[in-house]
Structure 1
């Protein structure tokens, strides 16, 4: 399971952008993932449990007793809530046989449920000391993201989470769950780093795509929900719509249909802003003042008409903010903007608070990321030009860099149910 775990368990974890994409909610301690359905688990362990009882009746070696205690604890730990008797049996198992890796893993999960994250990490670390294991690495990765919530060292914890997720993938590059866990780790990192490093999102989407190649993972609706979340913040709106729709079909309870409506509402607003633009003499006069702007840098002034799609290095587009476009998500901020040629475009800005840019402000967009968005969905088509600003260093507002209090700080990791849905 992952920080983002599950819509299907109220107490289970759901990993950060972020029950669904809303501003960060109060922190809660996520639980490790639930094991397989109880009936399946019982079917799996019952023969071994029965056998272990017969063995114990004849020869009570420490190793045999350890297996017996482990199986009892594992059965008692199938429920989502913490069960002290399960912990007691699992603790006995690892005392009797410290090399019983599965018992350490189950004990860590059990202790995680009661909120003792440090002890849970100790269990996973002890299990790893017996040898590399992808399941343990994934659990440790998820636990580190849980520990990042509200922690002063959250960025470092999330980076450790990525590191362990990568190690799990390297042990079995065909394992969809490991790829899925890595995707969640990168998506969490995007929000922790201030919601502006889009390379994290690209890595996340790639990991989710690899997870989808595994037949056992591609049935997971949370995979599509989380990948759609990453695509939404990459402004790949059509792919995001398809992903949320797929998640909604696989599990209507996820609320992914609400995310579809949010994106459509946003696109309607952006499209409406572009179509409602007014080329008044007053605006023309206001825009003409942009020619006098001195950006004090080596960037070459440009208008949107000469940009190439993608990143335009050493170029600065000067624009006048015409309209703040309000919408349901906390990031990014969207503005209808006009350049020196009176060409309109949508400006999306990450990493800044909403008061950083006001209507009427002059903006200089350094190294702009330019795209012509063309989105078709349910007989609707949206077309507009867009510039995305990923980092505060890429924008000047009224010829000045944004002051520190307008720059978004590192965020705490939202509850999994806030942004990332994950069923590992």
Structure 2
């Protein structure tokens, strides 16, 4: 009798392990061609069904046994990126036979998400959570909520819900890298949804990604490195961004992260060359004299580049003249300009979220409470060195003595997608 029970546990154990191994492959296998991954998953899912089909019919008769069988079959079939009705049918049977099977609800929600029924997917995740708190389910719910933000009227409220569910997952296991990664994504989405003005959300996102990297299992996740590099790119931490994109590219060639590296290196070279070229021009003297005549609001202290502190300079204003607009390949709305101050010092000005025609060559700018960064780092044997000022809000820039009108602001958005 004991041998029979042991044998029964063994066949079910093999079927469960086959399903787990299949999803491990999904999360760690990143070939050059994404189609190769799909064909590999299809091939391995066919093999994973064999241990399940080898379970004798008498061990599938009871409702709970039948529910587990249907759940495992549906889960295995659903491993591919595209929606499969067959997978949904099996998972639906599983939850009817055993409504307490939380992971079956989770898998059913993921399956339904793929066909675009986001509301029903959310219901499945909530039903799964009603069986008890679970970090994996909370993370999927958080990701789904970020996807549902797209086109919604209450976007800020919905993304805040996503952040709260991500944080709840972390409280269940503070060392789980996937939960931290999910929180990082939620904070990054919030940054864009709220108009890309809340810098603290970027910093929270970066901190969450750093915590995720402490989990050895997450070091196989290329998206973690890509998303972390994206945050560092917005923060102009160029060396970290380059390292992150390169790490992502090595882990998953299909991400085209090497293109991001190339774009950033080209931009940095361009900035450096332009600064070197203009620093020698006699025209700087005449430019500087026009800058000196600009009147400032008395609540701000006039400053030049050489007296700025690293980081945010509160209560300070820098007056400069635009030498040129720097064209670059990135699709992000981060504009770069070459600017000269009244001391004839040239620097790179980066302004987030404004239209191309908002600032033109020859404009005199007043930069309020600028964020100063002395860029100096090496990458692949090449040293990059220049001074940079960044402004994050439209209100921080006066162009020829006037505030920029609201229509000059632009926004960009990113939303969670269902990842296979």
Give the alignment's TM-score, normalised by structure 2: 0.84
Question: Take 2:414 and 2:392, find their aligned partners in 1: how far apart are those partners?
Answer: 20
Match of 1:100 in 2: 101
Asked if structure 1 preserves the Cα contact closer than 8 Å seen for 2:272 and 2:385, the reply is yes
Asked if structure 2 preserves the Cα contact closer than 8 Å seen for 1:53 and 1:68, the reply is no
- Extract unaligned runs of 5+ from structure 2: 1-22
Match of 1:389 in 2: 391
Asked if structure 2 preserves the Cα contact closer than 8 Å seen for 1:287 and 1:340, the reply is yes
CA shift at 1:257, angstroms? 1.4
Query: Please, which moves more after superposition, 143-152 or 388-397?
Result: 143-152
Describe the shift of the 1:78–1:281 C-alpha distance in structure 2 as closer, same or farther (beyond 3 A).
closer
- Counterpart mapping for 1:399-418 below 5 A: 399-409=401-411, 411-413=412-414
- Counterpart mapping for 1:140-289 below 5 A: 140-277=141-278, 282-289=283-290
Match of 2:337 in 1: 335
Q: How big is the alpha-carbon RMSD for the aligned residues of Structure 1 and Structure 2?
A: 2.9
CA shift at 1:281, angstroms? 5.6
Q: With CA pairs under 8 Å and 6+ residues apart, which has the higher RCO, 1 or 2?
A: 1
Question: Take 1:76 and 1:238, find their aligned partners in 2: how far apart are those partners?
Answer: 42
- 1:353 aligns with one of 346, 352, 355: 355
CA shift at 1:423, angstroms? 6.6
1:224-278 per-residue CA deviation (whole Å, 9 max, x = no partner) reads: 2221121111111111112222222223332221111111100011101101115
Asked if structure 1 preserves the Cα contact closer than 8 Å seen for 2:144 and 2:416, the reply is no
SS in 1 for 2:108: helix
Asked if structure 2 preserves the Cα contact closer than 8 Å seen for 1:9 and 1:80, the reply is no
1:344-403 per-residue CA deviation (whole Å, 9 max, x = no partner) reads: 111100122221111111111111111110121122111111111011122211222210
Asked if structure 2 preserves the Cα contact closer than 8 Å seen for 1:52 and 1:68, the reply is no
CA shift at 1:101, angstroms? 0.8
Describe the shift of the 1:236–1:306 C-alpha distance in structure 2 as closer, same or farther (beyond 3 A).
same
Total equivalences in the alignment: 389
Asked if structure 2 preserves the Cα contact closer than 8 Å seen for 1:183 and 1:206, the reply is yes
SS in 2 for 1:354: coil
Describe the shift of the 1:423–1:98 C-alpha distance in structure 2 as closer, same or farther (beyond 3 A).
closer
CA shift at 1:109, angstroms? 0.7
Query: Please, which moves more after superposition, 44-53 or 264-273?
Result: 44-53
SS in 1 for 2:347: strand
1:15-63 per-residue CA deviation (whole Å, 9 max, x = no partner) reads: xxxxxxxxxxxxxxxxxxx9x9567778888767755843343xx34x3
Question: Take 1:70 and 1:119, find their aligned partners in 2: how far apart are those partners?
Answer: 18
Asked if structure 1 preserves the Cα contact closer than 8 Å seen for 2:31 and 2:254, the reply is no
Asked if structure 1 preserves the Cα contact closer than 8 Å seen for 2:397 and 2:403, the reply is yes
Given the alignment of the two structures, is residue 75 of structure 1 paired with residue 79 of structure 2, yes or no?
no
Given the alignment of the two structures, is residue 55 of structure 1 paired with residue 59 of structure 2, yes or no?
yes
CA shift at 1:190, angstroms? 2.4
1:143-191 per-residue CA deviation (whole Å, 9 max, x = no partner) reads: 1121222333333322222221111111111111111111222222223
Given the alignment of the two structures, is residue 313 of structure 1 paired with residue 317 of structure 2, yes or no?
no
Question: Take 1:139 and 1:415, find their aligned partners in 2: how far apart are those partners?
Answer: 10
Describe the shift of the 1:110–1:320 C-alpha distance in structure 2 as closer, same or farther (beyond 3 A).
same
Asked if structure 2 preserves the Cα contact closer than 8 Å seen for 1:6 and 1:423, the reply is no
Match of 1:31 in 2: none
1:322-341 per-residue CA deviation (whole Å, 9 max, x = no partner) reads: 11011011331011111111
Report the structure number with the largest CA radius of gyration: 2
1:286-343 per-residue CA deviation (whole Å, 9 max, x = no partner) reads: 3323333234351111111111111111111111111101101133101111111111
Match of 1:373 in 2: 375
Question: Take 2:125 and 2:53, find their aligned partners in 1: how far apart are those partners?
Answer: 24
Question: Take 1:114 and 1:382, find their aligned partners in 2: how far apart are those partners?
Answer: 48
- Extract unaligned runs of 5+ from structure 1: 13-33, 417-421
Question: Take 1:113 and 1:405, find their aligned partners in 2: how far apart are those partners?
Answer: 37
Question: Take 2:133 and 2:42, find their aligned partners in 1: how far apart are those partners?
Answer: 28
Question: Take 1:374 and 1:384, find their aligned partners in 2: how far apart are those partners?
Answer: 7
Asked if structure 1 preserves the Cα contact closer than 8 Å seen for 2:31 and 2:253, the reply is no
SS in 2 for 1:104: helix
SS in 1 for 2:323: strand
SS in 2 for 1:218: helix
1:73-110 per-residue CA deviation (whole Å, 9 max, x = no partner) reads: 22332232212122122222222332221111111011
Asked if structure 2 preserves the Cα contact closer than 8 Å seen for 1:52 and 1:67, the reply is no
